[in-house]
Structure 1
């Protein structure tokens, strides 16, 4: 506490000290800034994520109010509950394949694309249920001073900011610490969801119900084809942003194997379980309440009203608290962490991952997310639109790593735009990737209009949008591959001449063995302390590569 006060006093003691305090740790104070402590390769002692953490991470992203709502929402477009299960299984298999392909093998590096999401509204609505359970009628007596056009009431807006205040301290946690939150959340939220389901079955006379919902229109035969495709696309779209920021967490893996099967298992299990739990809970509570609720906060609020008592208030509070924790963990893992990683890449001199996470939290209320979650159709359109803009970039990343570079990344070159380096491109812009992204987006984006306003575009356009995940992915990937055949991407620095100890540099994932460093190179090269050069090097008595040099571990408090 004393040292913190001393640092604050020093920061404001002079203009120079204030400017120094703004600098991100390990970022250069002058000249070009392409790195800071969060952008440098992750040192071995910081690679602490195990299979348990990756499994919990994906369980965390799915066992949340967003995925819970999706299960029952699919019913609203004419599908049966088991159709949702099939859609979840198919979508999860495809997602698992993309996740593994987008996990950098043995390269402890972040790769990123700027984006911002706001799920804080979910947390606010669940928090409103918690506050009602705690304060009872006092909460109900809060008058509403907002018009209906606002899309939210005064007390729900208050709950939104209460949730925001509770969530805000989590934004100061680095990913190396966040992993523990994911494990706690995975256990607590799973117990809470099954607890509500068990109570609902008991209250419904021991029956899970017939999976029939009020105002449900059941489709059959050929009419099911495109709603099923839309369901699969929505299932995949719910985790789409995580596919792009996958390397931001995979870089912390203790080993590559820890970040593959555990993630695939977590995706498949969690999607199937939450899809069943949401539909089953809604089915059982429909028999109790006589009405189907697709929003988890509406359901909990209705149960609280129907069974108002001290026991019901306590039970709903702890159940809703599980969803609050779920939303906090989801925001931290799939929203704030990517923004923090992107921010550090965009402004490496001043932004670290934690600073970017805090900035994301400060911007969240400005996104008015309650406007997005206004109806089931809007919610599905919101999820689907993610795929249109993100999957072309994901396709580019997969093709670039696996097909073109064959798993070979020269790490020191990632931190410079000097002419002749493989990632300098044209002023730092990879125009092949830009063109591929535009092609992928343009191929399906026109269908958004049809989803928002039926009849605005022809049926073919609407159907292409329902296939947006796969179409945009393959269009982006295919365009990038073709352009790279015509205009090949460089793999290594133009002036590099391989030494005998470098071996076959054209082999698949050759550079992964040394974590992206040639003989004679280590992290000091990135910091500007040249060890060796890009030319011919002698193999004898060279410093170890990457983070293995004698004093590197002590010097690199990275991440």
Structure 2
């Protein structure tokens, strides 16, 4: 008698059964670890105050003061500078809310967010571009802070000048000691994760606001209770308005990095309201205070001796009391570290973690990115106009198109619908697999719009449009992407709460 040919289901091997039990959501270890995972709603700690203190530190950075004071040299008066900063602040408030809402909803960092538009593998492109810009500026900002520390050391211990006259790889012995000390402090803070960064920013914010306000008031008193509202013949008419709009646009461009990866911070936000409130007090209101301080400091100094300061550090150096000078200098160091942590350290950490999720976590990636920031000898980069202009400036110009593509894909194409578990799956049927893990339409849109952005940034023929390069690049990236992207698809909104981890850092 013949046995019927009956097909029976294939029994899963013991290893497959164990794998399903340990990984029931079919997540890939090449895309998922505890640092890249979405954060659970419960346990998030970033309140409105946390978001506000980010801006309390970053807005008052020394670089921002140098930029705003530079507007005087372009022929703008006090009220015109306030108007330019106000215009930029309104735009920034809107852009940062759109970017921040993405992180608050999904709970994922920027490299994972980039997978939505660029694919699970293509996301390495925006993540590494953002990370490369940040790690270079981390080293440069640490070096600039070390210069302030050298001045402080020499003020307290003039004998240290003996170790400040030699040169090894571009720095004196004292320069190396100060640089490595500040570098190590930042690595220690980062080693405790995002929660420690939040606490440091919360501490530094009030210190900076008080210090800058006190410096402005001191200058106002030194000038006899009045200031000069302009430092020369102020612009009028169409030329004035073009300069005001251009100044506001450049103010937004300064934050091109932050509007891109703001989700790295808002993924820990308690609610959308906390993002909006933190941004409102930290951007429009705080920037108004920033503008008033700039006008008071610059106008007071110009009234006193007819010179224009280049930075608050010029004011600090003129303080006659050594104790007060050291206190103010310490506050500037606190500020520089706060700005560096948020703007230039977090992004490369997540970029490296995204590149090697099996081997790196937040702490290890922090040590590696910090080490890179040391090994590149950043003072040499800072002293090389070609590197600053063409390498870092070129990478910065590409951030506009990246922002436009990611925002257009998330808000216009998908209407904020995200299948969060699929961001961590390598299945060819996954939402973000596209073609071998890359959305080549997004890559093409980036390549075309990036070329246009670079031409605008570096071609003398378009110098009159250079102030608006970020907006043009961002808009061009969005338009090209929407023109060539696949339309008519249905998108599902799937929560990531089941695969989320508690935001321990």
Listed one character per residue, the Cα deviations across residues 276-320 of structure 1 (whole Å, up to 9, x for unaligned) are: 21332133234446532213334422x04xx2xxxx111111112
The separation in 1 between residues aligned to 2:224 and 2:182, in whole angstroms, is: 35
Distance 2:377 2:242 in 1: 31
- C-alpha root-mean-square deviation of aligned residues, in Å? 3.3
1:481 and 2:490 aligned: no
Q: Distance in 1 between matches of 2:482 and 2:426?
A: 23
Distance 1:389 1:162, change over 3 A: same
Question: Which of 81, 98, 105 pairs up with 1:101?
Answer: 98
CA distance in 2, matches of 1:79, 1:138: 44
- Stretches of structure 1 that go unaligned for 5 or more consecutive residues are 1-25, 451-456, 493-504, 506-510, 524-546, 548-552
In 1, the alpha carbon distance for the partners of 2:417 and 2:52 equals 27
Q: Partner of 2:13 in structure 1?
A: none
Aligned to 2:338: 329
2:285 matched residue in structure 1: 269
Where 2:31 maps in the other structure, the secondary structure is coil
Q: Does 1:223 align with 2:222?
A: no
| Shift of residue 189, structure 1, vs aligned partner | 0.8
Contact persistence 1:92–1:271 (CA under 8 A): yes
- With 337-346 and 377-386 compared, the bigger mean Cα shift is at 377-386
Indicate yes or no: 2:419 matched with 1:410: yes
Q: Could you tell me which of 116, 120, 124 is aligned with 2:146?
A: 124
Contact 2:190 2:196 in 1 (8 A): no
Task: Tell me how far apart the structure 1 counterparts of residues 224 and 274 of structure 2 sit (CA, whole Å).
Answer: 44
Match among 341, 344, 348 for residue 357 of structure 2: 348
Shift of 1:433: 1.4
**How much has 1:220 moved relative to structure 2?**
3.4
Partner of 1:515: 495
Please report how far the alpha carbon of residue 33 of structure 1 lies from its aligned counterpart in structure 2 after TM superposition: 1.9
Report the Cα offset of residue 99 of structure 1.
Answer: 1.1
Which residue number corresponds to residue 542 of structure 1? none
Which is further off, 236-245 or 379-388? 379-388
Deviation of the 1:377 alpha carbon? 13
Residue pair 1:106, 1:515 contacting (<8 A) in 2 also: no
CA distance in 1, matches of 2:440, 2:402: 13
Map of 1:339 onto structure 2? 348
**SS across alignment from 2:105:** coil
- Alpha-carbon distance in structure 2 between the residues aligned to 1:32 and 1:82: 55
Quick one: which of 333, 356, 371 aligns to 1:362? 371
User: CA offsets, 1:345-369, max 9 Å, x none?
Assistant: 1111122223222222222234555
CA distance in 2, matches of 1:395, 1:127: 40
Write the deviation string for residues 117-147 of structure 1: whole angstroms up to 9, x where unpaired.
Answer: 2222332233234323432x33556553459
Map 1:160-559 onto structure 2 (within 5 A).
Answer: 160-207=179-226, 209-213=227-231, 218-288=234-304, 291-301=307-317, 303-304=318-319, 307=320, 312-370=321-379, 388-450=397-459, 457-458=460-461, 461-484=462-485, 487-488=486-487, 505=492, 511=493, 515-516=495-496, 522-523=498-499, 559=505
Deviation at 1:415, TM superposition (A): 0.6
Deviations 1:410-436, CA, capped at 9 Å, x for gaps: 111111221111100112111121122
Say which of 30, 47, 50 aligns to 2:44: 47
Per the alignment, residue 156 of structure 2 pairs with 134
Which residue of structure 1 lines up, in the alignment, with residue 3 of structure 2? none
Secondary structure, in 3 states, of the residue corresponding to 1:46? coil
* Change beyond 3 A, Cα 1:78–1:384: farther
Superimposed CA distance per residue, residues 167-199 of structure 1 (whole angstroms, 9 cap, x where no aligned partner): 332221311232121111110111111111122
- Could you tell me how far 1:381 is from its partner in structure 2? 9.6
The 3 A distance-change label for structure 1 pair 276 and 246 is same
Check conservation: 1:226, 1:463, Cα contact below 8 A: no
Structure 1 residues 441-469: Cα deviation after superposition (integer angstroms, max 9, x where no partner): 2223123335xxxxxx32xx112322112
Q: Structure 1 pair 264/121, CA: closer, same or farther in 2 (3 Å)?
A: farther
Report the counterpart of residue 121 of structure 2 in structure 1: none
Normalized per residue, which structure has more helix? 2
Name the SS for the 1:350 alignment partner.
coil
- Alignment coverage as a number of residue pairs: 456
Superposition TM-score, scaled by structure 2 size: 0.81
**Alpha-carbon distance in 2 for matches of 1:243, 1:250:** 11
Unaligned runs of 5+ in 2: 1-22, 112-126
1:61 aligns to 2:83 (yes or no):
no
Q: C-alpha displacement at 1:74, in angstroms?
A: 2.0
| Residues 158/281 of structure 1: CA separation in 2 closer, same or farther (3 Å cut) | farther
Residues 259-281 of structure 1 show CA distances to partners (whole Å, capped at 9, x for unaligned) of 12321331112222223213321
